[in-house]
A and B are shown apart, each in its own frame.
Chain A
Amino acid sequence: MTDAAATPGRSRGVRQVVGDYFKATEIDLRLFGMVVALAVIILGFGFVTDGRFLDPVNMLTLAVQGASVAILATGMVLVIVSRNIDLSVGSVVGVVGMVYAVLMHEIYPTTIGADTSYGWLLALAVGIALGAFIGAFQGYIIAYIGVPSFIVTLGGLLAFRGVVFYISGGSTQAPDDKQFVVLGGGPQGSIGGTASWIVGLVMVAAAIGLLYYNRRERRRFGFPLRPIWADALIGTVSSLVVLGAVYVANSYHWPAGLATQYAQAHGITEPPGGLQIESGIPWPVLIVIGVTVAMWFLATRRRFGRYVFAIGGNPDAAELGGINTRWTILKVYILMGILAAISAAIASARLNGATLDLGQGYELYVIAAAVIGGTSFAGGIGTIPGAVLGALVMYSLKYGLAYEGLNSPGQDIVAGAVLIIAVGADTINRRRGS
């Protein structure tokens, strides 16, 4: 009798005890579920391919392919949280991507010269300004004139795709800029082994620093603290994940041909067995990490993000609280345009060319990524890391199915089904929760 009282855990059952411990970590259940889903998908494909799928080159390719959509998804979270939608992102990617190509391929050679050291930066600046302008234009019509965002951005989806055709002159354009192409990833578009370890260590330090800072803040104000073991666990697991990812990225070495070329160009005599150059983290992945951190910061640590969520939760309350709701919505669309420009840089650099259909259909993947990542269409709910994980889940499925020989229409069928299942499971979960 007294025994049972002393160990209430046993009488409550293992599930509940685990649940209590889990609760103590204050980990977002939804995010945790997505990480598990991602692991299951990747390990599942690894299993059915006898491990071939787990080769670092596949992991890197998958991440790079998902980068453009992941970047857009971080912005789409805020758009949907504020009870709006942006269907035009794919077409804006198309326009900006084409502008990059036309600038570098046609305009630079007759003005500043081709392949200058700063040409790619100038192009990026132009693209980001253009993206921001397009975002501001659509955002203004939505926020200040009051046309529903669905309509405005549906118009944008059609119209900007037409604009792509006109600025391209009707055919694919190649950026042809050695520095710009680096943004697209691949062996030469990666930061190398040493830099990758440094990035990894910086991220680990940042994670531990953040945990420590939060703890200190809560202690300073005398608020209840998370158990120390939970902080230690979170710190350890996230450090291992980061360093593991760097290890995987570094275990991919440049292909022999490329390494030989590099050795010759730099006057290095190749050792027997060829020069081994660690590829490391691809630039697009590094950009995704940077964008995710920046967007997470904006969404959770700045007034702007707080306002976006408040507007999504209750637009009237936000207005009565004195928030300039229109300006906030306009800013969300400007941000979306800037992200489209970044996404366009990666997409066109990766293909080393801006095709007429660059970005076509992105809007669907981007919205799906945000929604799979826990963004609610009712507004007010969503997280930036969730959306990035959503993009990763979708692209690992897509890539895995392609690896298994399923064609693109087949991949789309699976992606569509996953979207519905993910949201359906979430809906049932929430209904049970409330």
Chain B
Amino acid sequence: MAVQAAPTGTKTPLVAMNHINVAFGGVHAVQDVSIDLFPGEVVGLVGGNGAGKSTLMRVLSGAHRADSGEILINGEPVVIANPRDAKVYNIETIYQTLALADNIDAPANMFLGRELTTRWGTLDDSGMEKATRTVMGRLNPNFKGFKKPVKSLSGGQRQAVAIARAVHFNARILIMDEPTAALGPAETAQVRNLIRQLKNEGIGIFLVSHDIHDVYDLAERVSVMYHGRIVDTVNKADVDMDDILGMIILGKKSGEVSKNELEKLL
């Protein structure tokens, strides 16, 4: 890589994924991808549908094992074999599919796999409900239906549950895969505020979207994926939105796109 873009003033990345490969049968969903993330930084991961963004992030969150490649956390090589491992490293994920169990309520989903228990080893449902109400108060004050199965909630409320789950557990590394897909403008603005707030707390965030507009304001750096490969990782300061758009659509670095191609595109 000729230009290794990195934010100034930091040395060891919070996360570095190096030479990751994932194939589904004949489909090379992720090919030799390297990407990194520093504390307090938002990296936008963009690319068309099917570019391999979700698959790459699922490797980091332990949902899928890579065929090859390495993951470093704070410079140390780690093995993330399952979602439990990822949580040990404080990696929290908002999945594109939300990954909610529809038949149970919001507190149960928020604490899924990490339930609070009383000193008798029974579920502390009241404690979990209280914590959920607190997080929701900050995230989505209009949220109602703490006792209802999440199936009966609106798309925005379901998304709020998925976000609440990721932010409640003191993430150091946050993966947000299309987190505003189901949200209206007001709710989207809330999530964007939340991202800024978390970033200021020093959390590193991978913000994934198929749409550059979702990430442009928030990200310091943008990594563009195209057909399973990273096209380029750029400092937002060095490029404009059209450059990135060209990379997403044509799969070429901004310098390699001819004026002609770009004009045709726009």
A366 CB to nearest B CB, Å: 22
Mark interface residues in A271-315 (1 if CB within 8 Å of B CB, else 0): 000000000000000000000000001001111001101101110
A118 part of interface (Cβ distance < 8 Å): no
B99 partner residues in chain A, CB cutoff 8 A: 314, 316-317, 320-321
Residue of B nearest to A378 (CB): B103
Contact partner of A306 (CB less than 8 A), chosen from B123, B126, B130, is B123
B12 part of interface (Cβ distance < 8 Å): no
Residue of B nearest to A318 (CB): B101
B113 partner residues in chain A, CB cutoff 8 A: 307, 318, 321-323
B255 CB to nearest A CB, Å: 39
Contact partner of B102 (CB less than 8 A), chosen from A218, A301, A319, A380, is A380
A306-B115, A313-B101, A380-B101 known; A322-B82 Cβ under 8 A: yes
- The dominant DSSP class at the B interface is loop
Contact partner of A221 (CB less than 8 A), chosen from B84, B102, B103, B130, is B130
A314-B102, A380-B101 known; A321-B117 Cβ under 8 A: no
A221-B130, A306-B108, A310-B104 known; A320-B123 Cβ under 8 A: no
Check if B104 sits within 8 Å of A303, measured CB to CB: no
Contact partner of B112 (CB less than 8 A), chosen from A220, A318, A380, is A318
B123 partner residues in chain A, CB cutoff 8 A: 300-303, 306
Check if B129 sits within 8 Å of A223, measured CB to CB: yes
Check if B108 sits within 8 Å of A310, measured CB to CB: yes
A217 part of interface (Cβ distance < 8 Å): yes
Mark interface residues in A214-233 (1 if CB within 8 Å of B CB, else 0): 00011011010000000000
Check if B83 sits within 8 Å of A319, measured CB to CB: yes
CA of A323 to CA of B104, assembled, Å: 15
A319-B83, A320-B63, A322-B113 known; A221-B104 Cβ under 8 A: no
Contact partner of A317 (CB less than 8 A), chosen from B112, B117, B127, is B112
B8 part of interface (Cβ distance < 8 Å): no
Count contacts on A: residues with CB < 8 A to the other chain.
Answer: 27
B256 CB to nearest A CB, Å: 38
CA of A297 to CA of B84, assembled, Å: 26
B38 part of interface (Cβ distance < 8 Å): no
Residue of B nearest to A382 (CB): B103
Check if B121 sits within 8 Å of A302, measured CB to CB: yes
CA of A323 to CA of B115, assembled, Å: 11
Check if B84 sits within 8 Å of A310, measured CB to CB: no
A303-B117, A320-B83 known; A223-B97 Cβ under 8 A: no
A320 CB to nearest B CB, Å: 5
CA of A317 to CA of B165, assembled, Å: 12
CA of A323 to CA of B114, assembled, Å: 9
B82 partner residues in chain A, CB cutoff 8 A: 319, 322
A220-B126, A320-B83, A322-B84 known; A309-B112 Cβ under 8 A: no
B95 part of interface (Cβ distance < 8 Å): yes
A381 part of interface (Cβ distance < 8 Å): yes
Mark interface residues in B92-121 (1 if CB within 8 Å of A CB, else 0): 010101111111100011001111010001
CA of A319 to CA of B113, assembled, Å: 9
A319 partner residues in chain B, CB cutoff 8 A: 63, 82-83
B260 part of interface (Cβ distance < 8 Å): no
B122 part of interface (Cβ distance < 8 Å): yes
B168 part of interface (Cβ distance < 8 Å): no
A320 partner residues in chain B, CB cutoff 8 A: 61, 63, 83, 93, 95, 99
Mark interface residues in A182-223 (1 if CB within 8 Å of B CB, else 0): 000000000000000000000000000000000001101101
Check if B126 sits within 8 Å of A301, measured CB to CB: no
Check if B103 sits within 8 Å of A223, measured CB to CB: no
B87 part of interface (Cβ distance < 8 Å): yes
Check if A317 sits within 8 Å of B101, measured CB to CB: yes
Besides A306-B112, A317-B99, 8 new A-B residue pairs in contact (Cβ under 8 A), listed by A number:
A302-B123, A306-B104, A306-B115, A309-B101, A313-B104, A314-B100, A317-B101, A321-B99
Interchain residue pairs with CB less than 8 A apart (5):
A221-B127, A310-B112, A312-B103, A320-B99, A321-B99
